[in-house]
Structure 1
Amino acid sequence: MKKTWLLGLGFFSISITWALYNAFVPLFLDNYLKSTAMIGFMMTIDNYFAMFLQPWIGHRSDKTNTKYGRRMPYLLIGMPLGAVFATMIPLHTGFLTLVIFMVLMNLSMSLFRSPTVALMPDITPDHLRTKANGVINFMGGLGSVLAFGIGSKLYGVGSYLPFLSAGIVMLISMIVLKATIKEPITLGGGIGVSSEAKPKNPVRIKDQLDKTTVLILAAIFFWFVAYQGVEALFTLYGKNQLGMSDSAASFSLTFFSLAFLIFALPSGWLGAKFGKKKIISIGVVGLVVIFGSLIFIESVLLLRVFLIIGGIFWACININSYPWIVSTGKEESIGTRTGIYYFVSSLAAITSPPLLGWLIDSFGYSALFISASAGMLLAFLCLLGIAPEKAKNTSGPGNSLPLGAK
């Protein structure tokens, strides 16, 4: 558990950076673009690279063999680059330099995101992964809360301060991870591993796509379409629909992230006790109701109350889905399945903001939460096609691993 909390620093720095990116970059783009759909598209152009890089890097890390391990080399390269380019985003001098810094930052983040996530199951026994995912997502949620809460205040002082702070945190996290996380030799394929310890057959991506996994990935796609669209466009919604200031709109997301943070650990415990599919389904149905209700809410106070409830339901989904995906494959395929997971989430990130932005341009800002609610409903329909969970690959007490995923 100590290693899990330390690994959470990686998620802490990633979450801070992404939260600031999603909250403030649309405001930078709004200075140059007047179409919400085009802003949404620009918020996803980097994901075209991430969609292909993250699965390949995750798959590649399964086969990497260095004295630093199989995941750590990607962190040592990607994290410093991500820190530098994140810091440069608010220093842009025009639309072209803004786009260049956006793309370079996201390419850098793609180099280490899948290996960082894959480290969790690498260093965690099978029956503890759901709880461990709660721990690291607690750290990620803490990063988001600080990004929206403190970051919005720093942004009021200077637009460069939140991004500079995120870059510093990322560099500190990298140093701590390098000093404290030692990858298991038997999993890492590192120096000194006997031929018997290495996988006898190569890991192939197409072999990972059984029926249950495909249905789970489809559900993941739809709930990320809903979530990514709301996260990317909420500050514009608050500003243009509710008349909030930039900082007040971004600060409102703190309530969603804070609820996610508080419920991250309980969600992991509930998933382990009652089954991941059941807890995820509760979260999906809950967000159908929450997003649908936000259409009619104009009070900022009531909006923030509903965001708190929504954050709890999002924790039910997000904490349990990645261990679910990992549990459908073998140990040597963890990086590959992590990459597949991020391929689907990146595809959703590419699809969602421009699609929801186009709907906003066509029908008004109420279309944001109508579309988000519809996305969650489609995710629930996918979950209905998945067979009930069975005890599979159980390696410890209290473990109930489903057949099929962050």
Structure 2
Amino acid sequence: MEHKLDYKKTFTLGFGFFAISITWSVYNAFMPLLLGNYLKSAALIGFIMTIDNYLALFIQPAVGFYSDKINTKFGRRMPFIMVGMPLAAVFMFLIPQTKSLYALVFALLFMNLSMSIYRSPVIALMPDITAKQHRSKSNSIINFMGGIGSLIAYLIGGRLFELNEGYPFILSSFLILFSFGVLFLKIKEHRDVLHYESAEEKRNLIQGLGIAWKDKNARNLLFAICSWFIAYNGIETFFTKYGQSYLGIQPAQATTTLAFISLSFLVFAIPAGIIGTKIGKKNTIRMGVGLAVILTLTLYLLKPQQSNMLLYMRILFLGVGFAWASININSYPLVADMSPLGLLGTYTGVYYLFSSIANIISPVLLGFLIDLIGYQIVFLYGAFFFGLAFLFISQVHDKRAENGND
């Protein structure tokens, strides 16, 4: 029996990704500035920005694995969402209320712990409720919703930050709660899930992770994912400080410039899913990564004193948004397609495990390079790791990766 894509249900599920995107965008854009009130070293700011990811290394794969195993009256994924989303909203609200570095680190730590509880389950719901042949399209719709979240964070958040440093975090907190309400009321797992895949044999968490690691194609894909997240996370984390310290622009101008990536991502999210379905997920990702290398190298060559520098940067950022949509829309469906029977939640957790490793490495490594060389290194760093991602994705040779309609 062929299942059609339920657009209404997919858009509803997109509120989960909307909440994730607005939270990370606010966190990455404004947290370094809040930490900058207490600290001067870019490397130390970068290290604090990664603390949460150490938790995610253990929590997200475990949560993904256990969400494959449990079965409650709310379903498999929803119990984790019911705990994680409200807690994330509470701690996001508390972040700007803190009065010391220790309190700020405590709040950001628990905010990210809460995010780790619900992130894998909310994403795993997409393939749960979507037939395999529609996953790229479905993921494009969900990421479109995520793009709206990022756009709100950068455009509205940037303006709110000028009024009060805490306002973007408070806005994000209320939007997480709103999104949770929509998900909880509109998605009923026992009604909406097409089928939960059951494993042929019982496996523990370590065995599940081992299966992913032993698959050469999955391993190359995971290394590619790690590399492009290192590139993107570094640029996103330090761009407001880069704008302030190297370009000599205001934080609001910097976040408005970042919004051009989100705007372009928003426009191209659904087309990227359609392209992935037509020419294959792997081919679309390779195209996006190759373009990202060219664009970040061009951005590196821009100098602060150039006339119309900000205009050129914003035009190039539109291209970066298209490249990032091509990569991001198709990468998780490719991971989901590679997951063996009964290990979808585990593979989702592994996907986030490798993105968490990237988020641990990137701010510290780029912060160290900035302290050593200066902020001009930011886009060269991005180009290098996008180039590495291109090499890894080119090594993925799998019949599931070659087909758009697999």
TM-score (normalised: structure 1): 0.93
Match of 2:335 in 1: 325
Match of 1:194 in 2: none
Q: Which of 234, 239, 253 is the aligned partner of 2:258?
A: 253
Measure, in 2, the Cα distance between the counterparts of 1:223 and 1:301.
25
Match of 2:212 in 1: 208
* Superposed displacement of residue 391, structure 1: 8.1
Structure 1 position 361 matched with structure 2 position 371: yes
Q: Letter of the aligned partner of 2:132 in structure 1?
A: D
Are the counterparts in 2 of residues 69 and 189 from structure 1 also a CA contact under 8 Å?
no
The percent identity for this pair of structures is 46
Are the counterparts in 2 of residues 289 and 373 from structure 1 also a CA contact under 8 Å?
yes
Are the counterparts in 2 of residues 45 and 350 from structure 1 also a CA contact under 8 Å?
yes
> Residues 165 and 391 of structure 1: is their aligned pair in 2 closer, same or farther, counting only changes over 3 Å?
closer
Are the counterparts in 2 of residues 277 and 389 from structure 1 also a CA contact under 8 Å?
no
Q: Secondary structure at the match of 2:364?
A: helix
Measure, in 2, the Cα distance between the counterparts of 1:200 and 1:42.
42
> Residues 309 and 31 of structure 1: is their aligned pair in 2 closer, same or farther, counting only changes over 3 Å?
same
Measure, in 2, the Cα distance between the counterparts of 1:259 and 1:271.
17
Measure, in 2, the Cα distance between the counterparts of 1:125 and 1:388.
20
* Superposed displacement of residue 189, structure 1: 8.7
1:82-122 deviation digits (Å, cap 9, x = unpaired): 00000111111011111001101000000000000000000
Measure, in 2, the Cα distance between the counterparts of 1:331 and 1:185.
21
Q: Letter of the aligned partner of 2:39 in structure 1?
A: L
Q: Letter of the aligned partner of 1:260 in structure 2?
A: F
Structure 1 position 36 matched with structure 2 position 46: no
Q: Which of 42, 64, 68 is the aligned partner of 2:74?
A: 68
Measure, in 1, the Cα distance between the counterparts of 2:194 and 2:202.
15
> Residues 272 and 40 of structure 1: is their aligned pair in 2 closer, same or farther, counting only changes over 3 Å?
same
Pairwise CA RMSD: 1.7
1:283-312 deviation digits (Å, cap 9, x = unpaired): 101111111111121311111111111111
Q: Secondary structure at the match of 1:241?
A: helix
Are the counterparts in 1 of residues 130 and 194 from structure 2 also a CA contact under 8 Å?
no
Unpaired segments ≥5 residues, structure 2: 1-6
> Residues 162 and 178 of structure 1: is their aligned pair in 2 closer, same or farther, counting only changes over 3 Å?
same
1:258-305 deviation digits (Å, cap 9, x = unpaired): 101110000000000000111100110111111111112131111111
Are the counterparts in 1 of residues 23 and 172 from structure 2 also a CA contact under 8 Å?
yes
Measure, in 2, the Cα distance between the counterparts of 1:201 and 1:145.
44
Match of 2:185 in 1: 179
Match of 1:150 in 2: 156
Measure, in 2, the Cα distance between the counterparts of 1:234 and 1:72.
35
Are the counterparts in 2 of residues 276 and 321 from structure 1 also a CA contact under 8 Å?
yes
TM-score (normalised: structure 2): 0.93
* Superposed displacement of residue 187, structure 1: 6.1
Q: Any residues of structure 2 matched to 1:263-278 within 5 Å, and which?
A: 263-278=268-283
Match of 1:404 in 2: none
Measure, in 1, the Cα distance between the counterparts of 2:242 and 2:381.
14
Q: Any residues of structure 2 matched to 1:6-405 within 5 Å, and which?
A: 6-184=12-190, 198-203=198-203, 204-209=208-213, 210-297=215-302, 298=304, 299-387=309-397, 389=399, 400-401=405-406
Q: Letter of the aligned partner of 1:262 in structure 2?
A: V
Unpaired segments ≥5 residues, structure 1: 191-196, 402-406
Measure, in 1, the Cα distance between the counterparts of 2:99 and 2:329.
39
Measure, in 1, the Cα distance between the counterparts of 2:193 and 2:151.
34
